[in-house]
A and B are shown apart, each in its own frame.
Chain A
Amino acid sequence: MADSPPLETPQPRVPSTEEYARVQESEEFGELRRSYRSFAFPLTIAFITWYLLYVLLSNYAGGFMGAKVLGNINVALLLGVLQFVSTFLIAWWYARTAAAKLDPKAEAIKSRMEGGA
């Protein structure tokens, strides 16, 4: 909360440049970087492609988009709402993966570096 008094935490030590360089080259950090990038990068390309596909369909596939599915609800509206749904799902999936796979690795490296081992 904004109005709570600042917590009195002991100041963590500041790692040196050499330590950062050593950690960056370590197996453990490489593993964290790989897990993060192999998840986030392809997913980013996938949702941008999916979005662009939608934009292109809106532009050049009028007949398909205008096809009625249920009453006055057409493909265009369904695909639009589907963009919302896929956004929600990707966000949820990323958050779950990050909490399960990335956070523990990151936390381990951080506490070791700030603890001074």
Chain B
Amino acid sequence: MSTESVFLAANEASEHRTLIISLFTAFVVATLGITVWAGRQTKDAADFYAGGRQFSGFQNGLAISGDYMSAASFLGIAGAIALSGYDGFLYSIGFLVAWLIALLLVAEPLRNSGRYTMGDVLAYRMRQRPVRTAAGVSTIVVSIFYLLAQMAGAGVLVSLLLGITSEAGKILIVALVGVLMIMYVSIGGMKGTTWVQMVKAVLLMFGAALLTFLVLLKFNFNISDLLGTAAANSGKGDAFLEPGLKYGVSEMSKIDFISLGIALVLGTAGLPHILIRFYTVPTAQAARKSVLWAIGLIGAFYLMTLALGFGAAALMSPKEITDSNPAGNTAAPLLALHLGGVDSTWGAILLASISAVAFATILAVVAGLTLASSSSFAHDIYANVIKRGKATEKQEMKAARWSTVFIGIVSIGLGALARDLNVAGLVALAFAVAASANLPTILYSLFWKRFTTQGALWSIYGGLISAVGLVLFSPVVSGAPTAMFPDVDFHWFPLSNPGIISIPVGFLLGWLGTILSKEEADKGKYAELEVRSLTGTGAH
């Protein structure tokens, strides 16, 4: 199996392009239908921002999974396992364990004390305008990084799946994804976005379960046999099944792995597009239930990616995987083709279905990210900073819809420019920024009586600037063959993930800013926030 079979796969892909495009189209038509239906039901701000708070814990759990399991985790982790073996699996563990912080410390208090955005909770006991501005800036930065990674990935991926090689074709796909996400969010608001994410989560779980079943069937459900074949076929032997292939190369790469691990586990509970999902349910108990469902679904999914990754390694040669995409991002679709049979209709149908699932995944995630940033712009910055809380509901919703269009257009532009850059690192960066800038302020606000406005501002801006600043001078941006700009070198920070420095900086500055504050914390406001967050009194 070598280049020949890759060409075969590529031919197969373009031969069955009609099938893939039909499935894509079916998904787009169905979700646009849902969007229009949801749009008709979106009458006030609570509908637009929070889906009317009418979703059940199970529905929201499904939508959270749909929002969280990005193409990076589906295709990226399966590909990373297929190429680096065990080290690819390390990501999924951090991504899952992170949910315990959301469950134990964040979901319920947030649901009880906020209304529409992360900024609602951060600014609750603080001076509104500066903290809202900081929360809005941080929300938009985190979401845009995440969005950019998804958009650029979408261009590369869909072009590959459809066999499109021209630059114009790639730009067209980025634009198409952008236009669709603008429509989902501006028309359907949170209701439409939630349903799109639910549909996607169901498709993704079914797709992954089907492939897992087929992989295990091939090995008569003997996992040891599957692992052994994967290790032998990878050409790396037992090392393939042990940690260290990717992160154990040098002392620095080991520290980088610790940094990544910390960012993953602390970042999730600070991701704005995840946090706003807790507002879509009526009570804190329902928020708890949604996280429980999400943990179950996401955990099951990541366990399945193990089978997909090792299955791909066992059934295909490493060269075949990297020839199609150097990062291994097409390992899962290629695996589908192999499981169905390279020259058979069944193989083509499987390939097309898994490709359509990947496409659905991208659309659902970008919609969630766009909603988070436009909500924050309209609610935090427009309504509370610019209009000083005096905007009417109608004006605010209008602002939210227009900022959706604006953010969508900006991301299409950036996504098109970044289409050939290696932006996969941006997702891990988004986690690091969320953990450095958002999580400290969320936790201090909820649990520390003395926390002040100055503490919040130092923490948000300090975490944000240190995380983004360090990445700018890291090998992610320049000075490495895998960098965004491989031809220049202005890096001096040795790690690709800034978390190990920037997260402590965020926590430390929040503490320092508070103890150095001239003004004292507003005791009455903290009493309100604390009682409200723990009991749900006065929660809308």
Where the two chains meet, the residues of A that have a C-beta atom closer than 8 Å to any C-beta of B are 1-4, 6, 12, 14-15, 17, 20-21, 23-25, 29, 32-33, 36-37, 40, 43-44, 47-48, 51-52, 54-56, 58-60, 62, 65-66, 70-74, 76-77, 80-81, 83-84, 87-88, 90-92, 94-95, 98-99, 103, 106-107, 109-110, 113-114
Q: Does residue B536 face the partner (Cβ distance < 8 Å to A)?
A: yes
Give the complex CA separation of A55 and B243 in angstroms: 10
Q: Given known contacts A2-B55, A21-B524, A109-B535, is B295 in contact with A91 (CB within 8 Å)?
A: yes
**Residue pair A32, B258 in contact (C-beta under 8 Å):** no
> What CA separation (Å) do A65 and B258 show in the bound complex?
17
Q: Does B227 contact A (CB under 8 A)?
A: yes
Q: Contact between B534 and A73 (Cβ–Cβ < 8 Å)?
A: no
Q: A14 to chain B: which residues have CB within 8 Å?
A: 538
Q: How distant is the Cα of A66 from the Cα of B536 in the complex, in angstroms?
A: 49
CB of A58, distance to nearest CB on chain B (Å): 4
Across-interface contacts of A36 in B (CB, < 8 A): 534
| Given known A-B contacts A2-B54, A20-B524, A109-B531, A44 and B100 have beta carbons under 8 A apart | yes
A33 smallest CB distance to B (angstroms) = 6
* Interface status of B163 (Cβ within 8 A of chain A): no
Q: Which 8 A-B pairs have the closest CB atoms?
A: A71-B224, A58-B243, A24-B527, A72-B227, A66-B242, A21-B527, A106-B535, A55-B261
B243 engages A76 (CB within 8 Å)? yes
Most central of A40, A72, A80, A81 by chain B CB within 10 Å? A72
Are the C-beta atoms of B247 and A59 separated by less than 8 Å?
yes
Which residues of the partner chain A approach B536 to less than 8 Å between Cβ atoms?
106, 110
Instruction: List chain B residues, Cβ under 8 A from A44.
Output: 100-101, 104-105
CA of A114 to CA of B89, assembled, Å: 48
Smallest distance from the beta carbon of A28 to chain B beta carbons, Å?
A: 10
Q: List 28 A-B contacts (CB under 8 A).
A: A2-B194, A15-B537, A20-B524, A20-B527, A23-B537, A25-B527, A37-B447, A51-B94, A51-B265, A54-B93, A58-B243, A58-B244, A58-B247, A62-B243, A66-B239, A74-B241, A77-B241, A80-B93, A83-B96, A91-B99, A91-B100, A98-B108, A106-B284, A107-B535, A109-B537, A110-B535, A113-B535, A113-B538
Residue of B nearest to A26 (CB): B531
Q: Does B322 make an interface contact (CB < 8 A)?
A: no
A24 to B529, CA, bound (A): 10
The answer for the CA separation of A65 and B223 in the assembled complex, in Å, is 18
With A24-B531, A32-B535, A58-B244 given, name 13 new contacts (CB 8 A).
A20-B531, A44-B104, A51-B93, A55-B261, A71-B224, A71-B228, A76-B242, A77-B86, A80-B86, A84-B299, A87-B97, A88-B295, A113-B537
* A95 and B292 contact, Cβ closer than 8 Å, known pairs A2-B191, A2-B194: yes
User: Which residue of A has the minimal Cβ distance to B280?
Assistant: A2
Contact across chains for A88 and B535 when beta carbons are under 8 A apart: no
Chain B 257-293 against A: per-residue CB contact (8 Å), 1 yes, 0 no? 1100110010000000000000000001100110110
Q: A55-B258, A90-B100 are in contact. Are A72 and B224 (CB under 8 A)?
A: yes
In the complex, the answer to whether A87 meets B227 with C-beta atoms within 8 Å is no
B503 to chain A: closest CB distance in Å? 12
| Shortest Cβ distance from residue B421 to the other chain A in the assembled complex, whole angstroms | 29
Interface membership of chain B positions 489-519, coded 1 if the CB is closer than 8 angstroms to chain A and 0 otherwise: 0000000000000000000000000000000
Question: Which residues of the partner chain B approach A92 to less than 8 Å between Cβ atoms?
Answer: 292
* B238 touching A87, Cβ below 8 Å: no
Which B residues between 417 and 465 are near A, CB-CB below 8 angstroms? 447
Interface contact A84-B524, CB-CB below 8 Å? no
Write out the residue numbers on chain A whose beta carbons fall within 8 Å of the beta carbon of B103.
Answer: 91, 94
Q: Give the chain B neighbours of A43 by CB distance below 8 A.
A: 104
Closest Cβ neighbor of A92 among chain B residues: B292
B296 on interface, CB distance cutoff 8 Å: yes
- Give the residue name and chain of the A residue nearest to B238 (CB): A66
Interface residues on B, range: 35 or more
B52 at the binding interface (Cβ < 8 Å): yes
The reply to whether A65 and B242 contact each other, CB–CB distance below 8 Å, is yes
**Are the C-beta atoms of A114 and B243 separated by less than 8 Å?**
no
Q: Is the CB of B535 within 8 A of A58?
A: no
Minimum distance in angstroms from B37 CB to a CB of chain A = 9
Q: Which residues of B contact A56 (CB under 8 A)?
A: 258
- Whether A72 contacts B228 by the Cβ 8 Å rule is yes
Whether B41 contacts A83 by the Cβ 8 Å rule is no
The interface residues of chain A lying within 8 Å CB-to-CB of B291 are 91
Distance in angstroms from B332 CB to nearest chain A CB is 20
Whether, in the assembled complex, B528 has its beta carbon less than 8 Å from a beta carbon of chain A, the answer is yes
Cβ-based interface call for B359 (8 A):
no
Is B195 among interface residues, defined by CB-CB distance under 8 A? yes
Nearest Cβ in chain B — how far from A100, in angstroms?
Answer: 13
B528 contacts A17, C-beta separation under 8 Å: yes
Report Cα–Cα, A113/B535, bound state, in Å: 10
Residues on B with beta carbons closer than 8 Å to the beta carbon of A24: 526-527, 530-531
Complex: A103 Cα to B223 Cα, angstroms: 43
Question: In this complex, what residue of B is CB-closest to A113?
Answer: B537
Query: Which chain A residue shows the least CB distance to B528?
Result: A20
Which of B59, B93, B538 has the most chain A CB atoms closer than 10 A to its own CB? B93
Complex partner residue of B195 from A2, A15, A74, A77, CB under 8 angstroms: A2
Q: Are A83 and B93 in contact (CB under 8 A)?
A: yes
Q: B432 CB to closest chain A CB, in angstroms?
A: 15
Bound together, the chains give a CA A77 to CA B54 distance in angstroms of 41
Q: Is B388 an interface residue (CB 8 A)?
A: no
A54 to B243, CA, bound (A): 11
Verify A73–B299 contact, CB threshold 8 A: no
**A15–B538 contact, CB under 8 A?**
yes
What 0/1 pattern do residues 67 to 104 of B give for CB contact below 8 A with A?
Answer: 00000000000000000001001100110110111011
Asked if B99 and A87 sit within 8 Å, CB to CB, the answer is yes
Question: CB of B302 within 8 A of chain A?
Answer: yes
> Could you tell me if A76 and B241 are in contact, using CB atoms closer than 8 angstroms?
yes
Chain A residues lying within 8 Å of B225, measured Cβ to Cβ, are: 71-72
Chain B residues positioned under 8 Å from A40 (CB to CB): 104-105
Q: B387 in the interface, Cβ–Cβ < 8 Å? A: no
- Whether the pair A6, B302 counts as a contact (CB closer than 8 A) is no
